[in-house]
Structure 1
Amino acid sequence: MSKIRIKHFGPIQEGFPDEGGWLDIKKVTVFIGNQGSGKSTVAKLISAFMWAEKSLVRGDYTQEWFEKKSRLKDQLLRYHRLDSYLKYNGSERSALEYEGEACRILYQNGTLSIEELDRRSYQLPQIMYVPSERNFVAYVKSPKELKLSSDALMEFLTAFENAKQHLSGSLPLPVNQTQLEFDKLNDTLNLQGAGYKIGLTEASSGFLSLVPLYLVSWHLAETVKKQNASAREPMSSDELLRFKKGVEEIWANASLTEEQRQAALTVLSARFTKTAFINIVEEPEQNLFPDSQQQLLYSLLALNNLNSGNKLIMTTHSPYLINFLTLAAKAADLNNQNMSGLDGAKVHQIVPHAAATPGDDLAVYQFDEQNGSIRKLPSYNGLPSDAHELNASLDKSNESFAELLEIQQQGL
């Protein structure tokens, strides 16, 4: 299982005090906390280090290339606009460590080092970072129209465009029994509901947030599933030699810009079959009614369960999502129990079988913006605890209302 350890990086100060400071990256990992507490920071670091690990395994870049001074800051961190986070109170004290299935990456005292691990269990992933700024992508005809400072957002726009072009027929959305259709002639996405059909750009803010997230997630998860089903044998030694020669020729071509070199490496590396989908999603609940949050979450969990190596990593402000995750864990527990009289159909009506996720596969971490710390939400009988900051906010509002009623009584 992959894990990450962080100290003195952006809003993260001492980080996670337990388990040696290691945050487990489980099949479903959720980060909760106030604005500026570091949820997205950690999610982006996971994305960056997983990409580096994949690039090392494929041979896109060498260990020496990554270990070159400033490569972490100028390449991995700048991609997610985290390059300024290495400074902590005016000095560089950041300590970052990632341990994956294929390598261990350590950044300490301004130096990056990489240690290769046994790669036999490594599953080459398709990694997608779904940013919170996704709401406007429905209005963009082509990513080339925009000049964005965020490479991650640009990549998501490209993935959205690609998913749109591969959409044939209609795609059922997990909200309001709505279908998504793509009109290739007019290059528009349309929503088809009961008795209506409208363009996505005319839809509510909830659909503008949901459709890019779900379409890209569905397309990539299904693509990886198909690649797994039709996976051929690993590269032969001759094929691997030809691949490495192609990489060397790309690096030796001094006329290529960095962008052109990356594009050429991506095309060459496409020969490797991806066997896992890492879906990193910021705020999946954006602009959605609680029932819609539930249906979207169950759909993302179902996509996550398509392959054993898939992982779903989310940041959220929604107490509902944590509660719905608890339902998914309880449903998995019931599905695994051999109990006479257990009504599996009723369990399925509450949580679809495809979305059920064992509690051991879940990890929820709570971030504190006041002191830059992280704590792991405890679990009871495999279910996430409801004693977390999001539920505490709801309790606080109920207590405040009780106080107002008491004041009212005193005034009578």
Structure 2
Amino acid sequence: MATLHIKNIGALRDTGEIELRRINLVLGPQGAGKSTLMKILCFCRWLEKEYMTKDDGLKRYKVYGRFLKELKQFHRFDDSFFSEDSYIKYQSEILTIIYEGTRNPVFTPSKQAKSLRHNTKIAFLPAERNLVSAVASIDKNYRSSTRDVLFNFILELEEAKALLTSEKKKALSIDESLSYYNVGGVDYIWLEKEKRALKSFYVSSGIQSSFPIDVMASYLYEQLGQTSSLSASELTARIMGLLSTGSSEVSLDLEKVISLRKLLHYMSFQLYIEEPEQNLYPESQRKLILSLLSLMNMAQAKEQIPQAQSLLFITTHSPYMLSVLNTQMAIARTVKNLEESGEQERLER
């Protein structure tokens, strides 16, 4: 099980060692450091992906302070968040990352790391996601001197939206009579009861903030088992890294074919969501979280190797989100107990 420990970064004084599960929810007041924790975790997981999918993928982060520079740049952290007392330790069965003060991090792969390598699809949905609909043409007008989390989200959402058309709509979890589709780069919400469509710019703020979650979550799920996008040079480099050369010929055995497949195909996904409850009525919040839990359950059935476990991480101010999650956990435990007691009765007979 992977763990994360953070000290003295932003509002976080000492998180203790946090164990990461398939489904993680962090509830707390504004300014408590929830987003800081999730952003650091996402960055560490992305570095782990770099290690798993590229030869020397971590080399550039070992020097010149690039680890901290890119963490601050991508996730928009101010310099004041970090000090000589700052500490990050991420540890999984594949990689350990330790960052202290302002020094370069130490990366330590586990002994079995190479055999556990696989590819994963990562997406971070920031709290500003409703700007995609609320601000006209933000995909064309948003300006950033560097690639940050919002810019990256806009690009990934555009990729996901391009797959949805008037013939292939995406039903929205908050209301089964609503669905999303895209025509010529313009977002529409279809109102089934009224048999008409509205541009997303004109729909409610709750729909504007929630439809990107549905679209991205569905897109990530559909990516499981699909081939990742690679340039010809990246593909060649990965193949050559797995090939063994004899005196005059190249051999590619079954084990290496399987290893190559794990690197070329998405074996899991990781979805990080800030404040999914934004502008949503409690019942709509319930429907949204249930939809995400259902998706995670379906993803588990598609995962082919134990170490490639999909992950959902949510930060929220809403106790309704926690209540729904706790209720579902209680139901699952009850069902499991009933199944086990039924099996025991059959054995006793």
Tell me the TM-score range normalised by the shorter chain: 0.7 to 0.9
SS at match of 1:338: helix
| Identity rate, percent | 26
Stretches of structure 1 that go unaligned for 5 or more consecutive residues are 229-234, 245-268, 343-412
> Letter of the aligned partner of 2:211 in structure 1?
V
Measured on the aligned residues, the alpha-carbon RMSD in Å equals: 2.9
**How far, CA to CA, are the matches of 1:141 and 1:104 in structure 2?**
41
Further displaced range: 30-39 or 118-127? 118-127
Report the AA paired with residue 220 of structure 2: L
- 1:114 corresponds to: 107
Inter-partner Cα distance in structure 2 for 1:60 and 1:145: 36
Give the equivalent residue in structure 2 for 1:43.
38
C-alpha displacement at 1:335, in angstroms?
Answer: 2.7
Q: Which amino acid aligns with 1:76?
A: L
Change (3 A) 1:337 1:227: farther
- Pairing 1:65–2:57 present: no
- Residue type at the aligned position of 1:135: N
Tell me if 1:162 matches 2:155.
no
* Residue 63 of structure 1: how far off its partner (Å): 3.5
Moved more, 142-151 or 26-35: 142-151
Aligned residues: 303
- Kept in 1, the 8 Å contact 2:132–2:138? The answer is no
Contact 1:86 1:93 in 2 (8 A): no
State the distance in 1 between where 2:236 and 2:38 align: 36
Residue 286 of structure 2: SS of its match in structure 1?
Answer: helix
Alpha-carbon contact 1:142-1:161 (below 8 Å) kept: no
Equivalent residue runs for 1:92-171 within 5 Å: 92-109=84-101, 110-117=103-110, 118-119=112-113, 120-138=115-133, 139-141=135-137, 143-148=139-144, 151-168=148-165, 169-171=168-170
Higher relative contact order (CA 8 A, sep 6+): 1
Give the 3 Å change call, closer, same or farther, for CA 50–85 of structure 1 in structure 2: farther
- 2: CA distance between counterparts of 1:151 and 1:236? 26
For 1:53, the equivalent position in structure 2 comes to: 48
**What do residues 228-264 of structure 1 show as CA deviations (whole Å, max 9, x unaligned)?**
9xxxxxx9999521689xxxxxxxxxxxxxxxxxxxx
Superposition TM-score, scaled by structure 2 size: 0.79
**Residues 336 and 156 of structure 1, relative CA distance in 2, 3 Å threshold:** same
Are positions 1:172 and 2:165 aligned together?
no
Q: Give 1:378's aligned residue.
A: none
Structure-2 residue corresponding to 1:355: none
Change (3 A) 1:60 1:295: farther
Task: Decide whether aligned partners of structure 1 residues 203 and 60 sit closer, same or farther in structure 2, where only a CA change above 3 A counts.
Answer: farther
Name 1:222's counterpart in structure 2.
222
Whole-Å separation in 2 of the counterparts to 1:202 and 1:286:
17
Distance 1:237 1:187 in 2: 37
The one-letter code matched in structure 2 to 1:143 is D
Give the Å deviation of 1:182: 2.3
2:285 is matched with which residue: 290, 293, 297? 293
Checking the alignment, whether the CA contact within 8 Å between 1:53 and 1:100 is kept in structure 2 is no
